[in-house]
Structures are given as C-alpha cells and as structure tokens.
Structure 1
Amino acid sequence: MNSLFVSYSLRFNRKNKLNSNGEALIQIRMYLNGQTRFYSTEVYVKPSDWNDKKDVPKDLSLHRKINQLLYELSIFEADYRKEHHSFNLNHFEGFGKPIVEAIPINTSFTTFMVAQHEAEKVLNQPSWRDRKLTITLFKEYKPEVAFSEISYSLIEGFEFFLRGKQLHTNTIAKHHKHFKKYILRAIKGDFINHRGNPYSDFKVKKQESKSDFLTEEEMERFEQLTFDKTQVFQEKVRDMFLFGAYTSLRFNDIYKLKRSNFLEESDGLTLLYVAGKTLKKGNLPLGILYGGKPEIIAKKYMALDDRKTLFKGLTNPKVNKVLKVLAKQAKIPKAICFKDARDTFGTLGEVKIDFRLLQDIMQHSKAEQTLKYAHINNKRQKLSKIKW
C-alpha cells in the first residue's frame, strides 16, 4: 500500500564502521512507497552515547539538533507537495533551495494530521500518546476532513462530540490544544489560509485545576497499606506514588528511571536524572531523603537488565484510577491523583527544607512557584490556632 507522506527514522552506524575518534555517523532514513534514501545529519557519536532502545543520541543538545533537521525536512516535503502534484525521494536534492511553484492540490487534512503525528513519534515527543488519542477521537467524530472544511462549526461540533463522551472540561481543552497544533502546522505549510484558523474565534473552556496533598498522618497510613500476591500492580502504584512524594519527581520522569539512573555512594543511592518538562539535570541523595525510604523503593524495583524501567507497565490513567481506590483503603478522604505526590513533597518539605533548597529540588524557575506551598501551610497554621 502506497503511503502519502515520507516516513522518517534515525540510523546509527549503518555501515558498522567507526572513525579514528571511535565515533559513527547518525543518518536519517527516509522511506516512501518502497524506496529508501539516507540523509546525513553530519553528527558523529560514540556507541556508548547512542540509545539503542529509543534510537536517539543520549546527549540532549544533539537530540534537539537532529529534531530540528527532521522538522525542516518534513516542512520541505509539505511545501513541495503544496506546489506540485507529486513527491518522491529524489526531490530532497532540492532541500535548502527555493521550490518552483506549481498548481497546488487539495490534500486531506486528516491524512496530513496522521502523518505529522507519525513524524512526532520519530522525534520522541512525550505527549505522542495523548495526541494519538486526540486524533482517534477526531476521526471517530469525522473520519475524513479536507483542508477546506476546517471551520468554526467543525471545531464547535468536535466540542459537542467530546462533551457527549462525558469528558472533563480540562480533558476536552487538552484535545483542543493538540488539534489546534496541527491546524497551525497546516497554516504554516500554506495548506490553510492564516485567516482560516477557527481557534481565533473559538474560546476553549478550562477549569482551575485543584491541587491536593497528603498530610504526614495520611502518608503514614498510605505507607502502611499491605498487599497480597494478587495485588502486585496495586502495590507498585502505591510505591510509585510514594517515590514521587519522597523526591518531587513528575510521573514521566519516574516512569523513565532505569538502573543506570542510580549511583551507589557512601551515603546510599544518588538519583541522576533529566526532567522531561524543563530539561534540567537533577541529582538527589535517596539515602538521605525521608530516612532512605525512596532508596528502599528504588532497590525494590531495580532490574538487572538496564533496558527495563523500574515502573514498567504503569500508565498515568491507570495509576490515577488505582490511587483513588488505595486512598479509600487507607481511609484518606481525598480523590488523589499522581500529581498530588509532587504537591505532597512541596507542602511537607516547605516546613522541613530551606526555601532555596526546596526551590532547587523542585526545579522551579520562579520563587512564586515554591511560595504556593508556604501559603498552604500558613493558612493551615493560622486556622489551627483559632478557637472554633
């Protein structure tokens, strides 16, 4: 079956040959309708600096450089298709040169959106799965949409369709955010006139998200939950939440942890990581935090095979669903979700840790982000002093 858009992927050391520095070339493999072509990124790395499982360089700056090249190639392809009736891999010879104008064709927006999403998988973007769900829902709403059909009424209809699914207001807003991104890309590629952006007039509704946290007493009850052999999944969910509450790490950062993220030192394990949201490097002495509790959890789930993550098999939706059940079992009157683990660290840590240190651990760029936890505690302290 012929595909409409080029499929991009990365190849490292394709010729199985290292240069004098012990490095090999990273190339971009481009595939279209049975034809394959390789494009040099002009980036060389050592085998130890290449992630074999994800097929990306471990160095974030090199990863971003290659991502930018992939994006530019995909834009070149989209621009060329707009100006011509067809496209093949030989046309990449004109990459970086002006494209000769021709009669544009009306390509399906749905096909364009799916192709863009596939390109995002190559770029290893963290929200790829969320956007896949957005596309699935939109295709359920309307299987095929031409660029000329993008309008305010189409977006409004999608809104009503999502409401009919009984989705939360903020979940609907997230789907609109993803869909808007593809419309903006189509506008940038001149598939849609810039004045045809329906989101210029459509107001997406959002509710202020409620943050919650566990008190020290609630944390103790959560820690003391017991599980039998049939409740391995539930125990893993509990432990992942506690690890987040002990370290302040977000779900995606904890989910990616492997044995290689931990360094054995004189005072216990040190966690080395790069936050996916901020791309900031962090290191935490797990043997010191909370009396070594996060170190115990890390050692509990460490696998000998570094390709396996500590909390493999857990997804955010599944974890949040189980957490609500576990909270009831621990007699915690709160509908907690995984985000509350980080808020628990910040709220409890505000009275234990120096403010600047807390800000550094949580990787807050602004002090105001950390101050919210002080405000929560000040309110509790003032209320506790009142003679009701």
Structure 2
Amino acid sequence: MKKISYRLVYNRKKRLNASGKALIQVEAYLTKRKVYFSTHIYVRPEQWDARKARIICHPHEEELNRMLDEFLLKLQYKELEGWKQGKAISLSMLKLDDSDDSYCNFFTFGRKWVECSVKKASTKNNLKTTLTLLHEFRPSICLAEIDYQLLLQFEAFLKQKDLKVNTIAKHLCHFRTFYNEAIREGLVSPTSSPFINYKIKTTEGKHVFLLPAELERLEMLASELSGGPLCHTLDAFLFCCYTGLRYSDFTKLSEENLIYPDHQHVWLVFKSQKTGVESQIPLDLLFQGKAVRILEKYEDKARFFRLKPNPDINKELIRIGRLAHIEKHFSFHSSRHTNATLLIYSGAKLTTVQKLLGHRSIKTTQIYGEVFSQTLVNDLKKCKF
C-alpha cells in the first residue's frame, strides 16, 4: 500500500526575511514527488535543530512545537480518511483539501502570526484584542470569505458596542494587518483584498493637556502629600510634564541615563522605546529645573523610575485629579501633551519641541501649536503692526 512520508523542512529557499527568520514547511513525499505545506511559523536559524526537526531556544518553543505536531497529524489524518474511503492515496488529495484545512481559518492563522511575530508585547495584546472582537462578531471566518460586506458588518458591530471612531479605526487597521500578512504568505491574492475599496474612517483626536494653573494645583498637592501612597505617582507624572517622556520611556530609565557634563547641568539621554530616536533633554533648563528637584527627592533613582502598570497609574491619577480639584479627566500620557503645549505657549520653537519630544516629523509636533488658544494671543502680542 502506498504511504505518504512527511518531514519538517526549515528555510527551503535558503534566505531569511527582513526579521532574520525563515519559514518551517512540511514536505510530503510519495513516489518520487514532493509537495510543500506552509506551517506559517517563522524562526531564526539558531532556533531550529535540523537533526531533531524541532524548535529550540525560543520563548514559546513548547507551544510552537505542539503546533508543528498538530499540523503533521492533520495531514496524516487526511491520508487516513482517504484510505478508509477507498480513495487512491496521492499528494494531490492533500492539495485539494488544502483550502478546507484549519490553517486557512482566519483565527488560526491570526493567532499563529501574532505568537511568532517580533512585535512588542503591548502591540501583540492590542492585536489579540482585535481577534477577540472579531471572534465575538463571527466565531468562524475563512480567509476566502473576507470581503467588503464583511468589513462593513464588522464596522457596524463595533459601532453597536459604542466604541469611538478612532478605536474602531484601530481595530480595522489591525484587521487589515492580518489580511496583508495572509497576502504575503500567499494564502490570498492581493487583488482580492477588500481593503482596496474600503476606507477606514478616523477623526482628529483630542489631546488632553493641563493648563498652567492646573499644573500649579498638582505641584501644591505634591508638597502636601509628601511621601503618601499617591506621592510617587504624582511625582512621576509631574516629572513627565516637565520632560515630555512617555510612560514606556520613563519606566525604562535608570541612573545611567542621567548625564552630568559639569556641576551645574544635568541631561537626560535615552533612546525612545517607540521610535528608536535618541533624545537629549537638559533638565535644569526646562521649567526652572523642576524635574531636577523631583529627582533630588529620591536617593534610589531606580525605584523612582519603576511604576505600576499604566492602567493602575491612570486610576491613581483620577484620584489625584479629584484631590487637586481638577475636573478635567487626564491620563499619564497627558503629561507629554502638557509638556509640548506649555513649551510652545512659552515661546519655544516647533523645531526645538520636536527635538525634545523625539518626533520624527514636524507635522506631529504642529498639532500642539493649535490646541491652546492663548498661544495665538501670545504670538500676536509679539507682532508689530
């Protein structure tokens, strides 16, 4: 009786992708003929043991190896089913059933791709949230059935959940990312993409920032708290108001990022977690050196730069806002908006603010010049008509 033999093959085309990884495939062999099936799992060369045909030295090696085993079992099960039905065993029978296999299921493909991608943990969590919403919208989706109407229905589903326009746009962008990855892996044709004609709608986001008077209230509250349970959170928030740091950058800082070129100045030098751009911030020259005075309160700088998870910090900021009698709802990221807005209000050039914030494009910085009407008044006062 004819029997198909299977084996796992790594990097058959002898080239790595942009991430330095290569694909693992299943080779099916029968009567001097071979066909290959993509497992959609990519690993680095040092993460593949060719002798054992196993993934090694990978943070998720156990789960990924289990996926490979399941993939092999599914192909073998197809062959067994064909034999039970009295069909002639051939490689073509595997190919013909290929579109019905579970890896053409959108969710199977999406979860595997997220797990194997090199994206940050926070980005992976966001992508998984989109997958969860899609699964709630429709528990079973085949890649071949994703069309323009399905996108419209998913958009309507998100609107029914009272999600905001930009939140809906974010999930649809994630959906498009999954579909584009399926195109790159040859599972669907580029010409069949429903995103060619579908327009993802966005609206201009509202940047919440604190006014000078509101910032003064927080500064007064910080002196009153003096070591209380909320003091650390408030000090960190104020420090980022004076420096424009993101939460992700602040929590990665250490004492090594503080540079003292002389006895009078201190600079904060770091590389952005989000953009990879290096920023150099003269702490004593910004906001009368208030960031330096906060640092001086903490002998253990490492402890100062370690915060609770961002959602927990934002909950504490709600309590802090109430204690300071600030009606405005603000989050930790509002400190960055506050920094940029007040710098421009105080007369700093956009290019200077761009450099301090580590923006790649001046267009990103320009939005802060439009949100504070008093900035316009100050600029007009300087003009001689």
TM over 0.5: yes
Q: Please report the TM-score for the alignment, with normalisation by the length of structure 1.
A: 0.65
Q: Which amino acid aligns with 2:249?
A: D
1:281 matches 2:278: yes
Q: Please report the TM-score for the alignment, with normalisation by the length of structure 2.
A: 0.66
Gaps of 5+ in 2: 1-6, 29-34, 42-47, 54-91
Q: Distance in 1 between matches of 2:377 and 2:321?
A: 22
Residues 209 and 335 in structure 2, CA contact (< 8 A), matched pair in contact too: yes
Q: Which amino acid aligns with 1:241?
A: F
- CA separation of 1:355/1:145 partners in 2, compared to 1, >3 Å: closer, same or farther? closer
Aligned equivalent of 2:247 = 251
Cα-to-partner distance string for 1:5-43 (whole Å, 9 max, x where unaligned): xxxxxxxxxxxxxxxxxxxxxxxxxxxx9x9999xxxxx
Question: Could you say which structure has the larger radius of gyration?
Answer: 2
Aligned equivalent of 1:173 = 169
Find the residue that maps to 2:269 and give its secondary structure. Answer: strand
User: Any residues of structure 2 matched to 1:230-245 within 5 Å, and which?
Assistant: 232=229, 234-245=230-241
1:314 matches 2:314: no
Aligned partner (choices 356, 359, 379) of residue 361 of structure 1: 356
Q: Which amino acid aligns with 1:214?
A: L
Q: Distance in 2 between matches of 1:321 and 1:114?
A: 31
Residues 26 and 38 in structure 2, CA contact (< 8 A), matched pair in contact too: no
- CA separation of 1:159/1:127 partners in 2, compared to 1, >3 Å: closer, same or farther? same
Shift of 1:303: 5.1
Aligned partner (choices 275, 287, 291) of residue 294 of structure 1: 291
Gaps of 5+ in 1: 1-32, 39-64, 94-100
1:68 matches 2:64: no
Q: Which amino acid aligns with 1:342?
A: R
Q: Which amino acid aligns with 1:111?
A: T
Residues 301 and 310 in structure 1, CA contact (< 8 A), matched pair in contact too: no
Q: Distance in 2 between matches of 1:161 and 1:230?
A: 47
Identity of aligned residues (%): 28
Q: Distance in 1 between matches of 2:281 and 2:190?
A: 47
- CA separation of 1:319/1:66 partners in 2, compared to 1, >3 Å: closer, same or farther? farther
- CA separation of 1:309/1:150 partners in 2, compared to 1, >3 Å: closer, same or farther? farther
- CA separation of 1:166/1:78 partners in 2, compared to 1, >3 Å: closer, same or farther? farther
User: Any residues of structure 2 matched to 1:91-240 within 5 Å, and which?
Assistant: 103=95, 105-106=98-99, 107-120=104-117, 122-124=118-120, 127-225=123-221, 232=229, 234-240=230-236
Cα-to-partner distance string for 1:47-87 (whole Å, 9 max, x where unaligned): xxxxxxxxxxxxxxxxxx996213xx1xx347989x63476
- CA separation of 1:124/1:373 partners in 2, compared to 1, >3 Å: closer, same or farther? closer
- CA separation of 1:367/1:196 partners in 2, compared to 1, >3 Å: closer, same or farther? closer
Q: Distance in 2 between matches of 1:296 and 1:67?
A: 45
Q: Which amino acid aligns with 1:357?
A: T
- CA separation of 1:144/1:92 partners in 2, compared to 1, >3 Å: closer, same or farther? farther
Q: Distance in 1 between matches of 2:257 and 2:237?
A: 18
Shift of 1:218: 1.2
Aligned partner (choices 325, 340, 344) of residue 346 of structure 1: 340
Q: Distance in 2 between matches of 1:362 and 1:195?
A: 40
Shift of 1:183: 0.6
Shift of 1:220: 0.8
Residues 169 and 205 in structure 1, CA contact (< 8 A), matched pair in contact too: yes
Shift of 1:300: 5.3
- CA separation of 1:86/1:199 partners in 2, compared to 1, >3 Å: closer, same or farther? closer
Q: Distance in 1 between matches of 2:296 and 2:25?
A: 48
Between 1:348-357 and 1:338-347, the stretch displaced more is: 348-357
Find the residue that maps to 2:337 and give its secondary structure. Answer: helix
